[in-house]
Amino acid sequence: MANALKIGVAGLGTVGASLVRILQTRANALTVACGRPIMVTAVSARDASKDRGILMEGIAWYADPVEMAKEADIDVFVELVGGAEGAAEQSVRAALVRGLHVVTANKALLSRHGVELAKLAEAKGCLLNYEAAVAGGIPVIKTLRESLTGNNFSRIYGIMNGTCNYILTRMEREGLSFADCLKEAQRLGYAEADQSFDIEGNDTAHKLSILTTLAFGCEISADQIYLEGITNISIEDIHAAADLGYRIKLLGVAQKTESGIEQRVHPTMVPLDSVIAQVDGVTNAVALESDILGELLMVGPGAGGNATASAVLGDITDIAKSRPGAQEVPVLGRPAHLLEPYRQAEMQSHEGGYFIRLTVQDRTGVFASIATKMAENAISLESIVQHSKQPAAPDRPQTIILVTHATMESAVRKAVGAIKGEGYLIGEPQVIRIERPKT
């Protein structure tokens, strides 16, 4: 039997503690499956006195993860510290420079430094695995890096943030406000410490940028993603969507076009009878569209200690099963030095069009004015209806719902801007894209 694979774990939060516990309690089964023992020989965390329900006998303790990466008697450095800079970036870089394999769940780190770290890992002959960085327990990274090699991808989209999906699900099912649902998500531990990271779409954008690179063979570009969160989604939007046969989801979408690659994160209306509309709560879903396979939808837990630890464990066992001298899978699907420069495309027309909600003063000519502004921008309307539940009255605001056919983003924004200039609009208009996925 081969020598034991020695693991160092940086970060003993929910995921780190769960990972060490699994490695300890299932040591025999993992040895049989991998053909060699896997042993945790070093850990790093802030508080050495905290009881985490793991056995510390024979494990070296390091207060500084960078020191552990440089000095510990380990073969694999597991980074679960988090963050794009600081200790996470420094420790991963130190581990790779030293020639250690690295496993990380850090999407922020990879979206910022992924290409550079991939080049370093490949130069050193090290593995850099990161299944847990995107969609938790869903094996989408392995699927893109290995299983679907040879497929040409046209589009990737999905629900990649469990917090946002949880909030939108509860708003619909229980009629709760956005603020109330966010508080509950925080109480249950679904939301990040910085709640804006989830609800403003940044978390989804980091994950999408990694998937975009794997699918389209380009350099990671997290800063060139159209970004819109869910803070402006109201109960009125949820109800209007349901009345029209849709459900609102925060989607990350990347697609290849003739002019480049389009990446966007925003609330989206999807048909109630689509599979992705049925993905509720903290569950994630990622759809891949390719020329050979067609469309594949993967659904599973997107967060939580066990789901993330399971993905990290899978990366570790892959390393345990690998053998020196074997041809390794490139970190980002193709050798990092062969990644193409990212070329951003303009926002394309959307097959499903747009949902537009306007609150207006109830006066003669408003409907006609709105329709005219749309026509002046070459926007074809599928429907325009008054959606207010109260009867019309001269001093009572009215809600008008428009659904457009396929059109350009720029045209919609220009038309809405023209409507705002007419003086009858109350508050800000709501614009939500409609997607009609195959799944």
Give the tens place of pLDDT for each residue, 189-201. Answer: 776 667 888 999 9
Q: Is 262 a member of any domain?
A: yes
Q: Is 394 a member of any domain?
A: yes
How far apart CA 426 and CA 359 sit, in angstroms, is 5
Q: What is the mean pLDDT of residues 324-332?
A: 77
| Bridging pattern class, strands 260-271 and 246-257 | antiparallel
**Statement: residue 436 has pLDDT above 70:** yes
Sheet containing 5-10, strands listed edge to edge, beginning at the edge strand earlier in sequence? 60-62, 38-44, 5-10, 76-79, 101-104, 128-129
Residue 325: the pLDDT is 59
Q: What is the mean pLDDT of residues 408-427?
A: 91
pLDDT tens digits, one per residue of 220-254: 999 999 999 999 999 989 999 999 999 999 999 99
What's the domain count of the chain? 3
The answer to whether residues 277 and 401 belong to one domain is: no
The tokens of 427 are what?
């508050």
Q: What is the mean pLDDT of residues 106-129?
A: 96
**Statement: residue 1 has pLDDT above 60:** no
Strand partners, 236: none
Burial 107-139 (b: 16+ CB within 10 A, else e): bbbbbbbbbebbbbbbebebbbbbbbbbbbbbb
Q: Is 405 a member of any domain?
A: yes
Catalytically active residues are 207
Q: What is the mean pLDDT of residues 329-347?
A: 90
**Statement: residue 305 has pLDDT above 90:** no
How far apart CA 407 and CA 377 sit, in angstroms, is 10
Kindly give, in sequence order, each residue whose CB lies less than 8 Å from that of residue 331, ignoring residues fewer than 6 positions away.
114, 117, 118, 121, 122, 127, 128
The answer to whether residues 167 and 270 belong to one domain is: yes
The answer to whether residues 318 and 201 belong to one domain is: no
Kindly give, in sequence order, each residue whose CB lies less than 8 Å from that of residue 410, ignoring residues fewer than 6 positions away.
347
The most confident of the ranges 32-41, 182-191, 319-328 is 32-41
The answer to whether residues 149 and 297 belong to one domain is: yes
The answer to whether residues 97 and 223 belong to one domain is: no
CATH code where residue 76 lies: 3.40.50.720
Q: Is 260 a member of any domain?
A: yes
The answer to whether residues 68 and 212 belong to one domain is: no
The answer to whether residues 88 and 151 belong to one domain is: no
Determine contact, residues 121/331, Cβ cutoff 8 Å: yes
State the average pLDDT for the chain.
90
**Statement: residue 100 has pLDDT above 90:** yes
The answer to whether residues 163 and 293 belong to one domain is: yes
What range does the domain containing 406 cover?
354-434
Q: Is 209 a member of any domain?
A: yes
**Statement: residue 29 has pLDDT above 70:** yes
The answer to whether residues 184 and 147 belong to one domain is: yes
Q: What is the mean pLDDT of residues 161-168?
A: 92
The answer to whether residues 25 and 114 belong to one domain is: yes
Determine contact, residues 36/70, Cβ cutoff 8 Å: no
CATH code where residue 425 lies: 3.30.70.260
Higher pLDDT, 198 or 395: 198
Going by C-alpha positions, the residue among 379, 391, 438 that lies closest to residue 158 is 438
Q: Is 349 a member of any domain?
A: no
Q: Is 428 a member of any domain?
A: yes
DSSP secondary structure string for all residues of 278-328:
G--TTEEEEEEEETTTEEEEEEEE-SSHHHHHHHHHHHHHHHHH--TTPPP
The answer to whether residues 159 and 107 belong to one domain is: no
Q: Is 416 a member of any domain?
A: yes
Rg of the chain over all Cα atoms, to the nearest angstrom? 24
Cα angle at 416 between 410 and 417, to 5 degrees? 85
Residue 394: the pLDDT is 59
CATH code where residue 235 lies: 3.30.360.10
Residue 117: the pLDDT is 97
The answer to whether residues 259 and 270 belong to one domain is: yes
